[in-house]
A and B are shown apart, each in its own frame.
Chain A
């Protein structure tokens, strides 16, 4: 799949933003006044910035409001609805905390749960795609939710919790790769089933329907960079969890250490999210004989 920068930015940043909101809703850290304002500002900048980035890849962004209509069937629509609900509820909670020094615990918990559901909906957009076997596994929503809470805990300065969650997200990320690597084969689609000619013998593409490229090849048959996938996975694993966990466990707590750990985690997150798209194979590639192995 084509790793569109807008989608990578959107899923990564909004995940971090909602992750921070999730902890703020539980009063972690317990902040009021201007400090609370700073925390909520960062969370909203990430969540809303991510959502805005997601509109950059739309063909007709001026009609984006129509995307709230089909929440009964569409995960994308549900994501939009829950994102707005989460942001409104957390906005009220934040306003009370910042301007009235008043904590409304129930509102905070509702906002946290809505934030969690929003990221779950994001993950389900990918997990529902039977056409992309690497995404179509139950671990995909688990992975997205772990990235959300691990990054959120790191930003909310919940160091002990962050260490545990960073270990968890690293393990699940590796498992997601391992199971993802064999997912295409297990799904059972091949050039024989795609053409219906499999029972007649070995099928191969003799001639492409077009001499140049097209929307399908650009969107679904991304191959550049797959050769570096192993190195990038290594970099991602080091940055997502291993180095941050070592930093946070071995050094005394401090803003600088937390900041370095967070910066590394974000680099790892971007790398793994790029791989999430770049390594994902769509079954339409079978019609172009693109699937190997």
Chain B
């Protein structure tokens, strides 16, 4: 059924801390590794070793520069995957019911056996979170590692999305946004967690923590500056004699 549930018991999602992400792309790789070998069709690559490699990814890291007048430019690494929107426009456009939002935890999934590969859900998504797999002809998207988070065959510490588990900087956090006392809810409240493109009314569950304000150092003198100051020309004493002697050679 591709109508959206009125509400979900949990709202599972990610918090991504833009202040911490270093842009190493480890989440991209671990996502691809886990999801190419588990839930649904593999994430294929075309011409992987050729001149124009292209492939299916569920998570990608953009890097932006932010510059405001009179301040130093700032680099922001920006990982982007499905935001598991509460009013997911990708779900309602699906003609077959392959796309759906789970009532129990709010995860947006694709039932690949029903997907005809029309691509309409990718058109409806503002965030580019869905990619059609070129080999299988079905739509692929982030599952929030639904096959990890409830998986009792793996150690408890691993029962979170692969991207979160792997992030070496701890810039990614997984949790339930419906619970106001969860770590993700608290972080979002304290740091002003942002929705992406709120004007499109998709009500994304995932939140982005903005970069913390940088200290203004434009007026400060570099601590190495005194060492780089030019040597006075007319020194007297031994140094003056040495300087004059070396000049004559």
Contact = CB atoms under 8 A, between A and B. Distances in A.
Interface of A: 1, 57-61, 63-64, 66-70, 72-77, 80, 125, 128-132, 187-189, 191, 193-197, 200-210, 212-216, 219-220, 282-284, 287-288
Interface in B48-104: 52-57, 60-69, 71, 74-76, 78, 80, 89, 92-98
Contact of B116 (A58, A73, A195): A58
A58 B131 contact: no
Contact of A196 (B3, B62, B210): B210
Contacts of B2: 70, 72-74
Given A193-B199, A209-B60, A220 B93 contact: no
A58 B1 CA distance: 20
A220 B76 contact: no
Given A207-B62, A207-B63, A196 B194 contact: yes
Contacts of B175: none
10 contacts: A70-B96, A72-B2, A74-B95, A196-B208, A201-B74, A203-B65, A209-B28, A209-B60, A214-B57, A215-B56
B124 interface: yes
B40 interface: no
A205 B65 CA distance: 6
Contacts, number: 193
B199 A205 contact: no
Given A60-B117, A209-B60, A283-B200, A200 B124 contact: no
Contacts of A214: 54-55, 57, 131
B142 to A, nearest CB: 14
Contacts of A60: 115-117, 137-138
Contacts of B55: 214
Contact of B95 (A77, A132, A189, A194): A77
Nearest to A79: B95
Contact of B131 (A77, A128, A215, A287): A215
Interface string B22-63: 000000100000000000000000000000111111001111
A70 B116 CA distance: 13
B1 to A, nearest CB: 7
A181 to B, nearest CB: 20
B198 interface: yes
Contacts of B52: 212-213
B93 A74 contact: yes
Interface string B180-212: 000000000000001111111100000010110
Contact of A74 (B60, B92, B132, B137): B92
B240 interface: no
A207 B77 CA distance: 9
B146 interface: no
A195 B137 contact: no
B14 interface: no
B137 A59 contact: yes
A236 to B, nearest CB: 23
A101 B48 CA distance: 63
B15 interface: no
Given A60-B138, A130-B89, A200-B74, A80 B117 contact: no
Contacts of B80: 209, 287
Nearest to A75: B93
A205 B64 contact: yes
A95 B89 CA distance: 42
B123 interface: yes
Contacts of B96: 63, 66-67, 69-70, 77
B53 A212 contact: yes
A70 B89 contact: no
A130 B199 CA distance: 10
B65 A204 contact: yes
A215 B39 CA distance: 20
A129 B57 contact: no
Nearest to A67: B95
A201 B94 contact: no
Given A60-B138, A69-B95, A194-B196, A284 B115 contact: no
B54 A80 contact: no
Which 5 residue pairs across A and B have the least CB separation, nearest first? A59-B117, A59-B137, A201-B68, A196-B194, A209-B60
B132 A215 contact: yes
Contact of A203 (B64, B95, B139): B64
Nearest to B136: A59
A189 B66 contact: no
Given A73-B2, A74-B94, A219-B122, A59 B116 contact: yes
Contacts of A219: 119, 122-123, 132
